[in-house]
Amino acid sequence: MKHFDRGSLLVIVITFVLFTMALFFTGFTHDLLLEAGVFLVSLKLIIMSYKSSVSSLRVHQELEEIKSLLHEIKTNR
């Protein structure tokens, strides 16, 4: 859960609550397809945000490794 900030978690909870409420208020009508589409778009954005966070962390770690190697090379001269 370290990749999600409070805002992202809040959006996840609100989206899920609103989708659940829409199921109860609209029932299983054609409007359910619209609600499911909105939910899936929100879910896709959350997944993209997570993947971006993981990728950013990996790049940051690799940059730190390169920085330490360069510092080691510089001190050995």
User: Are 64 and 58 within 8 A, CB to CB?
Assistant: no
- Whether the per-residue pLDDT at 70 is higher than 90: the answer is yes
Give the model confidence (pLDDT) of 18-66 as tens digits: 878 877 877 777 677 777 787 788 878 888 888 888 899 999 999 999 9
User: Are 32 and 59 within 8 A, CB to CB?
Assistant: no
pTM of the model: 0.62
For position 1, what pLDDT does the model report?
52
User: Phi and psi for 9 in degrees, rounded to 5?
Assistant: -65, -40
User: Are 17 and 39 within 8 A, CB to CB?
Assistant: no
For position 4, what pLDDT does the model report?
66
For position 68, what pLDDT does the model report?
95
For position 33, what pLDDT does the model report?
76
Where are the chain's structural domains? 6-76
Q: Which residue blocks in the chain are alpha helix, DSSP H?
A: 6-26, 31-76
From residue 4, give the alpha-carbon distance in Å to each of 11, 26, 63, 65: 10, 31, 22, 25
